[in-house]
């Protein structure tokens, strides 16, 4: 309560209201849990590990950490012999945490914002398999479930987390084939049409499964774990004679590159993969160009 002067003389009391902003997090650990909420299990596991490793190294609460602390930690990671891609990922997670804490009002400043991340060499071209390699991986897989996994990853361009979370009610018939709806990265839902061969391979797995049951089941009956799918893909690549360390995401890269090579409109590939920006999809065109000025030189 305070007063101001009345034109007629005397003081008139005026009520004031103090805005109380509730505390959004009561500790650094609480902030981290809020930051991780809603992310995939894989992302939560990786980010929690990155944040824990960082806090253990700096030995300070978040509100006392400076830009110098961040730069020193990044330098230590590089000097430890970690690949630059790993350093980039870990420091990106730390930057994300500080930005979140500042937006929430828990941290007075986003001291990580000016931090420069290490420049990375674009190795996308090295992770794009030839069509013959992908088809060999699928053809040589003898287990029907595993073959369907390879076909679905490639045909849908799905992330491994999207594939593992599929339930039968995410699959809908469309004429002789069907479509799959996934709830993907960034909370985006997208629906992808399946070729008939892939659809038939999926339907052959259903048997008496109910709509809410997992499409790809583990031995215990639940959803197949991402690490299990990773091993399936790795074994398939070795069986096909591919010497590179192939991961599940390589089949997503292959989908994008092969579809563009075969004339698919870039906006269609963007929609199928769920890219937020057309520039992300465009990287596949730069990774495997169909023409170059070098072809115009005299050799």
Q: Which residues are known to be catalytic?
A: 159, 185, 249, 252, 275, 284
Q: Please tell me the distance from the alpha carbon of residue 256 to that of residue 155, in angstroms, as a whole number.
A: 10
Q: Please tell me the distance from the alpha carbon of residue 99 to that of residue 35, in angstroms, as a whole number.
A: 10
Q: Please tell me the distance from the alpha carbon of residue 119 to that of residue 117, in angstroms, as a whole number.
A: 6
Are 207 and 191 contacting, i.e. CB atoms less than 8 angstroms apart? no
Nearest 5°: phi and psi at 265?
A: -60, 140
Rounded to whole angstroms, the maximal C-alpha distance in the chain is: 98
CA angle 116, 50, 230 (to 5 degrees): 110
Assign residue 221 a region (left: φ > 0; alpha: ψ between -120 and 50; beta: otherwise): left
């Amino acid at each position: 309560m305070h007063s101001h002067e009345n034109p007629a003389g005397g003081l008139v009391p005026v009520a004031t209201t103090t805005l109380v902003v509730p505390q959004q997090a009561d500790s650094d650990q609480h902030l981290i849990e809020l930051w991780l909420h809603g992310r995939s299990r894989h992302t939560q596991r990786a980010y929690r590990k990155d944040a824990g490793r960082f806090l253990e190294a700096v030995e300070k609460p978040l509100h006392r950490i400076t830009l110098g602390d961040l730069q020193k930690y990044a330098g230590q990671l590089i000097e430890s012999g970690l690949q630059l891609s790993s350093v980039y990922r870990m420091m990106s997670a730390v930057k994300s945490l500080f930005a979140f804490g500042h937006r929430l009002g828990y941290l007075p400043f986003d001291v990580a914002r000016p931090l420069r991340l290490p420049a990375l060499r674009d190795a996308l071209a090295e992770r794009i398999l030839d069509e013959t390699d992908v088809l060999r991986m699928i053809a040589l897989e003898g287990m029907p479930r595993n073959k369907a996994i390879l076909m679905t990853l490639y045909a849908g361009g799905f992330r491994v987390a999207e594939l593992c979370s599929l339930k039968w009610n995410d699959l809908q018939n469309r004429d002789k084939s069907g479509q799959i709806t996934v709830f993907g990265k960034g909370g985006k839902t997208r629906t992808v049409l399946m070729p008939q061969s892939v659809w038939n391979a999926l339907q052959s797995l259903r048997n008496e499964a109910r709509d809410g049951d997992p499409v790809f089941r583990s031995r215990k009956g639940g959803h197949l774990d991402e690490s299990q799918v990773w091993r399936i893909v790795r074994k398939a690549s070795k069986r096909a004679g591919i010497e590179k360390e192939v991961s599940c995401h390589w089949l997503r890269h292959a989908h994008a590159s092969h579809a563009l090579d075969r004339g698919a409109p870039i906006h269609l590939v963007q929609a199928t993969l769920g890219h937020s920006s057309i520039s992300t999809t465009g990287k596949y065109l730069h990774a495997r160009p169909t023409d170059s000025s070098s072809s115009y030189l005299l050799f």
